[in-house]
Structure 1
């Protein structure tokens, strides 16, 4: 179990050079954009335009801040994503473009290498203690808004945009909201 503080995240340029991304975690540690098995990051999107292409990667996008974005992924119907939308999954190697709805956004971006790893992303708004089931692989809990306390893990406290990275050794983890808490739970497992 490892606490990742927002102040320590690595900021780096987008693959297409159109902006910057804030890397929360990557595996293997320190892996570059062409070598990771999985990667979780946030990006500030200032304008409409094409997404970077990542060969062999599956991607899930969630809007954290801003009014939202409309994604056009290859020949699929356009997807309108807002802070209230469910996370949206799509192949990162299909031509994709984004049109901002009304100004810049910040998004959460989860990517896994097809054939090696799989992922799921869940948004949780909690107002009372909840138990989160941890599965084999890695689980990341990002505190989007508010605060989250983990009483059975030494009372670890996460503030906004801090993350708890958990291995498979903890089957269930209790989370207590400190105030107005929204979390993202990212589960990453090996592909079958």
Structure 2
């Protein structure tokens, strides 16, 4: 079970001085640089000043405000108000910029190479009774609240520990998550997250040769 601790990630200042980015994951891992040497990247940015976004030719982007109230995103001249927890998809080729009418924000960024991978971001509310699994090709990122992750053992549809017929949840193997920590998904002993709050589930699917 792999956990990426947000507190251990290095902040990378933006070239325009408008914020910093902390990278959670990328593929391939050995790729370097911020200008698309990788095929996909997941990161969290702290935005403190309005300004232009970096261009990512040949990439698709999904951006989600995860802290703060609102960002006004301009994409090729069209303005889009991005509210908290509402993912928005746009092209990395576009001329884009962000404004902050209500103050600083923090956003979750997913960037994928067009034609190679397709990325999705979903925001879900966690439950203390039913664990949320994180599968291969996914990251589960705690946005708010309190939660813990444990290696899953139950088959799909089996009683979840703590529910009727499921017994008491086992403490062994359970790891507490801090805000913005990310759980790397797996189809073997699939990690399961229990708690109270909100989780971002980032899914990255390879695009088949046929489509």
Superposition TM-score tier, normalisation by shorter sequence:
0.7 to 0.9
Could you report, residue by residue, the CA deviation over 1:3-39 in whole angstroms, capped at 9, with x for unpaired residues? 1111211321336564321111111114222211111
Alignment of 1:1-192 (within 5 A): 1-14=1-14, 18-32=18-32, 33=34, 34-75=36-77, 77-83=78-84, 85-132=85-132, 134=134, 137-153=136-152, 154-169=173-188, 173-177=191-195, 180-192=196-208
TM-score by length of 2: 0.79
8 Å Cα contact 1:41-1:110 kept in structure 2? yes
Change (3 A) 1:8 1:54: same
Aligned with 1:59: secondary structure? strand
Change (3 A) 1:93 1:124: same
8 Å Cα contact 2:185-2:191 kept in structure 1? no
Change (3 A) 1:107 1:18: same
Give 1:173 shift. 4.7
Unaligned runs of 5+ in 1: none
Give 1:94 shift. 0.6
Aligned with 1:7: secondary structure? helix
Give 1:134 shift. 4.9
8 Å Cα contact 1:41-1:108 kept in structure 2? yes
Give the structure with higher Rg (CA). 2
* Distance in structure 2 (CA, Å) of the matches to 1:181 and 1:72: 30
Structure with the largest fraction of strand: 1
* Distance in structure 1 (CA, Å) of the matches to 2:112 and 2:14: 17
Tell me the C-alpha RMSD between the 2 structures. Answer: 2.1
Aligned with 1:102: secondary structure? coil
